[in-house]
């Protein structure tokens, strides 16, 4: 048995369903071995798209998504998606072919030190130097990638090692799942004491709640103790927006409605909170909040994040234990903030202006989708509106890249989401710029029979950058570009295309696109004049309390 064959058997042992990637000369032995494997190789058009697919697969399943490339330029094309997964805590194993070990010591065609290249953006990066270590390397890569906090691992596989014979008896290593310990009783007691003594507590829920599947425990905790919850961008849906304890999403670099609850709070309970999303400078500027840190791992060091108690262990177990020990609030505080947020989200829901206001687009999208359906947001001005306005009811139904915040994730990410959940509607919500970065994967979606809807917010410029430039300098700089005819572009792939020409047509068009059950592109003109209006409005915002 060749090392490449053992390598594929080791991937099968890890439960790998899909490998997203592009074949090349230096990974041909692995590609050949995959012909005899139940693993589906999803041939992509760009390695970045492949890495984003693995990224979203990892977010939605908790199991490592796998992407593969050849050496050199193939490997470097993986980098953005791998870095995104690592910073956004999505488990991914990236694999790249490599030249023969006999030429790594010298200047040679397409040769790079790929392990050194990937080390800063992964939890683990290594090279397979001998066939007998294949099983150990694969098992460690998956173990590290999937362990809390999850992230990316990288395997460099030289072509001459891949074709070597494996010593007799070598087999994949049995998969073992790490056990998440329970928090010490003294920490649980101390947290319950602080919560019982609080006058105005608030919960800040982060992506760790989703990773650990602790959303039900969090809802029960908040309802039992009458404590409101604000979630980060990547934790949308951990508490249904329709639940009265929800304060919606917090995370803008500006004072927004949920911020007023944090301004008045004396105790902030951070559950599964990743500082990479929303820095404590924003919600604890004076460093005067009593912070309770409930997570699987110790808190990051920051002068604005000095914890009164760290409750480390299984999040669900910790929340249940504390809820049974703590004294509930007489009523859920910050009710006025909740009411103001509800009113804000409905603003412009019936607006018939064209181009369409962002608030209206988000409202209609929410109306078109069921509670379990999935929206994959790209990065751009639309991301800020989706993050702020989209009323998520379930975890992992509004996927937002917010640690690394990489443009181009929506289309490939939607393909992965549809492979994971073929029974759900999946919509890629993207700006025109982000769409054009990986629009070639429309062909991949059609070939894989992944019926996705691609909703393009069209403004022919880098809208988020325009927003920042106007805020800082009052004038834009080099942000405009021209787009193709998106309807004809979609049709050239064999997909369907629609152009929205009136605000009242958006919702019916979304419903028709979903019913079409194929890949559909919707070109929707957006009025980003609302961006600066929101900036000015937030500056003038007064507390509803």
Tokens describing residue 452:
């996705």
Once rounded to an integer, what is the mean pLDDT over residues 128-151?
Answer: 97
Ramachandran class of 340: left when φ > 0, alpha when ψ lies in -120 to 50, beta otherwise: alpha
Query: How far is the C-alpha of 316 from the C-alpha of 318, rounded, in Å?
Result: 5
Query: How far is the C-alpha of 48 from the C-alpha of 406, rounded, in Å?
Result: 11
Helix (H) or strand (E) holding 260: helix 257-264
Give Cα separations from 195 to 222, 296, 337 (angstroms): 12, 20, 21
Residue of 276, 278, 270, 327 lying closest to 296 (CA atoms): 270
Once rounded to an integer, what is the mean pLDDT over residues 441-445?
Answer: 98
For domain 346-537, give its CATH number from 3.30.70.3270, 1.10.10.10, 3.40.50.300, 3.40.50.970. Answer: 3.40.50.970
Once rounded to an integer, what is the mean pLDDT over residues 426-444?
Answer: 98
CA R_g for the chain: 24
Ramachandran class of 291: left when φ > 0, alpha when ψ lies in -120 to 50, beta otherwise: beta
Sign of CA dihedral 352, 357, 359, 363: positive
Contact, 39 vs 16, CB < 8 A? Answer: yes
Ramachandran class of 388: left when φ > 0, alpha when ψ lies in -120 to 50, beta otherwise: alpha
Query: How far is the C-alpha of 519 from the C-alpha of 417, rounded, in Å?
Result: 14
* pLDDT recorded at residue 213: 96
Burial class (CB in 10 A: 0-12, 13-18, 19+), 344: middle
User: Does position 108 have pLDDT exceeding 90, yes or no?
Assistant: no
Distance of CA 334 to the CA centre of its chain: 29
Tokens describing residue 174:
């049995």
User: Does position 169 have pLDDT exceeding 90, yes or no?
Assistant: no
* pLDDT recorded at residue 193: 98
* Strand ranges inside 438-543, DSSP E: 453-458, 496-500, 520-525
Once rounded to an integer, what is the mean pLDDT over residues 21-28?
Answer: 96
Query: How far is the C-alpha of 96 from the C-alpha of 113, rounded, in Å?
Result: 12
Structure confidence at residue 178 as a pLDDT band (50, 70, 90): confident
Q: What 3-state class would DSSP assign to 267? A: strand
Structure confidence at residue 54 as a pLDDT band (50, 70, 90): very high
Burial class (CB in 10 A: 0-12, 13-18, 19+), 185: exposed
Q: Residue ranges per domain, the chain?
A: 3-162, 185-339, 346-537
Structure confidence at residue 387 as a pLDDT band (50, 70, 90): very high
Query: Listing from the earlier edge strand, what are the strands of the sheet with 426-431?
Result: 398-400, 374-377, 426-431, 453-458, 520-525, 496-500
Cross-strand bridge partners of residue 269: 203, 292
User: Which one is predicted more confidently, 255 or 217?
Assistant: 217
Q: What is the pLDDT of residues 468-482, one digit of tens each?
A: 899 999 999 999 999
* pLDDT recorded at residue 106: 87
Tokens describing residue 190:
């101390």
User: Does position 347 have pLDDT exceeding 90, yes or no?
Assistant: no
* pLDDT recorded at residue 62: 96
Question: Around Cβ 379, how many Cβ atoms within 10 Å?
Answer: 24
57-71, 441-455, 460-474: least confident range: 460-474
Query: How far is the C-alpha of 254 from the C-alpha of 248, rounded, in Å?
Result: 15
Contact, 53 vs 92, CB < 8 A? Answer: no
Helix (H) or strand (E) holding 159: helix 159-162
Q: What 3-state class would DSSP assign to 427? A: strand
Length of the chain: 545
User: Does position 42 have pLDDT exceeding 80, yes or no?
Assistant: yes
Once rounded to an integer, what is the mean pLDDT over residues 150-161?
Answer: 97
Contact, 365 vs 274, CB < 8 A? Answer: no
Tell me the fold of 185-339.
Rossmann fold (3.40.50)
Question: Around Cβ 171, how many Cβ atoms within 10 Å?
Answer: 12
Query: How far is the C-alpha of 219 from the C-alpha of 227, rounded, in Å?
Result: 10
Burial class (CB in 10 A: 0-12, 13-18, 19+), 426: buried
* Strand ranges inside 272-387, DSSP E: 290-295, 307-312, 374-377
Query: How far is the C-alpha of 117 from the C-alpha of 64, rounded, in Å?
Result: 20
User: Does position 317 have pLDDT exceeding 90, yes or no?
Assistant: yes
Residues above pLDDT 90, as percent of the chain: 93
Once rounded to an integer, what is the mean pLDDT over residues 365-387?
Answer: 97
Fold match, 3-162 / 185-339: yes
Residues above pLDDT 70, as percent of the chain: 100
Angle between helical axes of 3-13 and 134-146 (0-180°, round to 10)? 30
CATH says 3-162 is which class?
Answer: alpha beta
Give Cα separations from 186 to 17, 160, 182, 299 (angstroms): 43, 55, 12, 18
């Amino acid at each position: 048995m060749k090392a490449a064959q053992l390598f594929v058997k080791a991937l099968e042992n890890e439960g790998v369903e899909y490998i997203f990637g592009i074949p090349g000369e230096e990974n041909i032995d692995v590609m050949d071995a995959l012909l005899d494997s139940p693993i589906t190789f999803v041939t992509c058009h760009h390695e970045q798209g492949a890495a984003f697919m693995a990224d979203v697969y990892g977010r939605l399943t908790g199991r490592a998504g796998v992407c593969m490339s050849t050496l050199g330029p193939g490997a470097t094309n993986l980098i953005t998606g791998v870095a995104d997964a690592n910073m956004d805590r999505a488990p991914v194993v990236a694999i790249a072919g490599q030249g023969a070990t006999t030429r790594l010591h010298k200047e040679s065609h397409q040769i790079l030190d790929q392990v050194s290249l990937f080390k800063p953006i992964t939890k683990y990066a290594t090279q397979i130097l001998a066939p007998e270590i294949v099983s150990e390397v694969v098992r460690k890569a998956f173990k590290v990638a999937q362990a809390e906090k999850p992230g990316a691992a990288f395997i460099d596989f030289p072509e001459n090692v891949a074709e070597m014979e494996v010593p007799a008896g070598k087999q994949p290593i049995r998969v073992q799942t790490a056990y998440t310990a329970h928090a010490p009783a003294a920490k649980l007691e101390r947290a319950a004491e602080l919560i019982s003594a609080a006058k105005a507590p608030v919960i800040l829920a982060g992506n760790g709640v989703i990773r650990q599947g602790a959303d039900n425990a969090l809802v029960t905790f908040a309802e039992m103790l009458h404590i409101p919850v604000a979630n980060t961008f990547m934790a949308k849906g951990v508490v249904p927006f329709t639940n009265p304890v929800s304060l919606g999403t917090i995370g803008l670099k500006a004072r927004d409605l949920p911020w007023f609850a944090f301004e008045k709070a004396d105790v902030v309970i951070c559950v599964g909170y990743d500082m990479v999303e929303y820095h404590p400078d924003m919600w604890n500027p004076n460093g005067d909040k009593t912070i309770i840190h409930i997570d699987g791992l110790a808190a990051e060091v920051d002068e604005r994040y000095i914890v009164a108690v760290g409750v480390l262990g299984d999040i669900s177990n910790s929340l249940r234990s504390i809820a049974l020990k703590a004294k509930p609030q007489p009523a859920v505080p910050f009710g006025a903030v909740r009411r103001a947020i509800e009113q804000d989200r409905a603003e412009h829901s019936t607006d018939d202006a064209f181009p369409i206001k962002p608030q209206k687009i988000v409202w209609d999208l929410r109306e078109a989708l069921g509670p379990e359906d999935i929206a994959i947001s790209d990065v751009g001005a639309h991301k800020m509106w989706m993050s702020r306005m989209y009323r998520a009811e379930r975890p992992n139904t509004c996927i937002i890249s917010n640690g690394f915040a990489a443009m181009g994730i929506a289309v490939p990410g939607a393909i992965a989401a549809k492979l994971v959940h073929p029974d759900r509607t999946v919509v890629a919500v993207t700006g025109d710029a982000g769409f054009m970065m990986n629009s070639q994967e429309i062909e991949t979606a059609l070939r894989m029979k992944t019926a996705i809807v691609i909703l393009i917010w069209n403004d022919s410029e880098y809208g988020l950058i325009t927003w920042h430039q106007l805020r800082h300098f009052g004038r834009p700089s080099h942000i405009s570009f021209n787009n193709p005819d998106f309807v004809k572009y979609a049709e050239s792939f064999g997909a369907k295309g629609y152009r929205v020409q009136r605000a009242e047509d958006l919702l019916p068009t979304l419903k028709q696109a979903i019913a079409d059950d194929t890949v559909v592109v919707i070109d929707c003109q957006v009025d980003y004049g609302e961006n600066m209006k929101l900036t000015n409005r937030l500056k003038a915002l007064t507390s509803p309390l």
